[in-house]
Amino acid sequence: MIRFAQQADANALHHLLQLAFSKYDTELTDTPALAETPTSLKEKIASSHKALLVLKNGQISAMCLFQFANRRCHFIRLCVHPAYQGQGLGTLLLKEMEQHANAQGCSSMCCQARKANCAYYEKLGYSISGYNAQSDLYLLKKMLKERQTRQCA
């Protein structure tokens, strides 16, 4: 089941982020996902971001934060619980986000990712559009089919 996150989900979201991103904790570059707190997640959900969740067996097993701006849907913190990785949950979330972005009149999806994750996004139609040397992250973008003309919020 997919649903939007609520502020009450913040502790569970924080736990999932820690599980999913802890493998990057030893890298030289910062991992902003690990700096998130339940409070910062509550604030994001209450203000500028939306979050989609996948529930399996009543537990949050995947999540992604996103926001609409300038006819783009920018997403961050896409992650899947390690026990459920490789089962298509991340792809399911991305497709759901794309539907919401289309409904809001967005023309593209964008994110930043580590080099090791670029092939995953490219398989889903994203292309590398830049590189941020400071964060060592690649910028990825996917054009959406124009179905609506309404501007993103």
Instruction: Give the pLDDT of residue 149.
Output: 45
Enclosing domain of residue 38: 2-143
Per-residue pLDDT of the chain (153 residues; tens, 9 = 90+): 999 999 999 999 989 988 887 776 665 456 666 677 888 888 888 888 899 999 998 899 999 999 999 999 999 889 999 999 999 999 999 999 999 999 999 999 999 998 989 999 999 999 999 999 988 899 999 999 865 445 554
Instruction: Give the pLDDT of residue 134.
Output: 86
Instruction: Give the pLDDT of residue 148.
Output: 44
Instruction: Give the pLDDT of residue 91.
Output: 96
Instruction: Give the pLDDT of residue 109.
Output: 98
Q: Tell me if 41 is assigned to some domain.
A: yes
Q: Tell me if 78 is assigned to some domain.
A: yes
Q: Tell me if 149 is assigned to some domain.
A: no
Q: Exposure string (b/e) for 91-104, b if CB count within 10 Å is 16 or more? A: eebbeebbeebbee
**Cβ(36)–Cβ(14) below 8 Å:** yes
Say how many domains are in the chain: 1
Q: Tell me if 151 is assigned to some domain.
A: no
Q: Is the Cα torsion angle 29, 53, 2, 99 positive or negative in sign? A: negative
